[in-house]
Structure 1
């Protein structure tokens, strides 16, 4: 009788152990399955983000190449035609003319000369090589100077901290962002003053652009209600994310607009690779 009880006990224990092993196997299998699913989702998200970044990077490169080509065409063709026209006007100005005609010729000559000067400034603005040669700070200063010459806006740039290189790929995108922000301010802000602050800190690089214009409702823009108005802001956000930066905007009705781009300071290796 006792042996039968022992056998039953052994069977119960063995069955219990078997069930426990089976449960352990099922739990382990479920855990591994869930972990792999999570890993697959994470990998898919990373791949999608990388793909989006590559698409945006390609768009930036194409846009930069297109702007550079347009600038070159303006310089080579329109610039040359204006230069030839100025030569003819100089010749005409030196010939005998009525006083009234001389005044018109002189005025036309001055207008053509100013057009040549403005065209050169514009081609520099379009040319990415200008950023590579003179750097971000000088390129932004040049852009503000071009805006100031319209006599519709007062512009100012302030540089804080000890300057360090960010790398051409980052600087050209920051410059294009600056151009887009300034262009939006020129078209929509109704501002009188546009200020740019470039701040080099030990940990971060900060680019701040602000105007004293009418501002706008950012929530409506960001949610797509004002789709056309929001396209520029969303484009700036995407470009900032492309270079690993943070984007912030402060605006409101009659409060002006302030846009800040924040980037981590490049590593020493990244700095040295650019020199």
Structure 2
């Protein structure tokens, strides 16, 4: 496919661009920062709708249109900027990308939603463990509120256009191999990483999920939790849940280190199959 990918200079974006290109796709990185030597980089302010639709439609000798859009560009976490700046940047960027794709007749969109919509940092107990996509979103920050609103916008756009496919990938905390050396430190305090139920996503597996969301795209909106199959901890998942969330119902027998961010839907509908674990790399 020919793919316009926003935020390709970010942590997940860099890996996704490399992965998709290695899989044979043509990928253009729309971002505010990038390497001039990379002919796939197109300097773009994602909050400027005119720039976005122009960059996706075609740029001089770079490309003359795309088959799909991947939207990763955003302020990537709470607390990196004032709330008003986070709301303005992320909401405008996502609207610009979705609207541009719609106007250009592009029917396949995959984008970065976030595990934060599940209720992170879980100061209020989750409704059950493992969490999944079946309960209403619970934004607890401006960042996650925007992710909630983006998902609602995506649903409505798919209602307007029954042929449009938008996949919201609720990525867990993105990690690359050099991050894994500090994972053993997490064992000293089971509550230090309870804020996302001890989850993570290897950027390479995140890139896999992006490609599979595009290849399996079906009309309509779907949200998927994208996390690795294990936790960041050496302790068993069952013991962590029992100690830190004693009043929360555990709906299944948890494997020794099984993720508590339910990925069954992504496995079933996308064919998502995490290949990497910090246990192999640390």
TM-score (norm. length: structure 2)? 0.22
Structure with more contact order per residue of length (Cα contacts < 8 Å, sep ≥ 6):
2
Question: If you compute each CA radius of gyration, which structure gives the higher value, 1 or 2?
Answer: 1
Structure with bigger helix share is 1
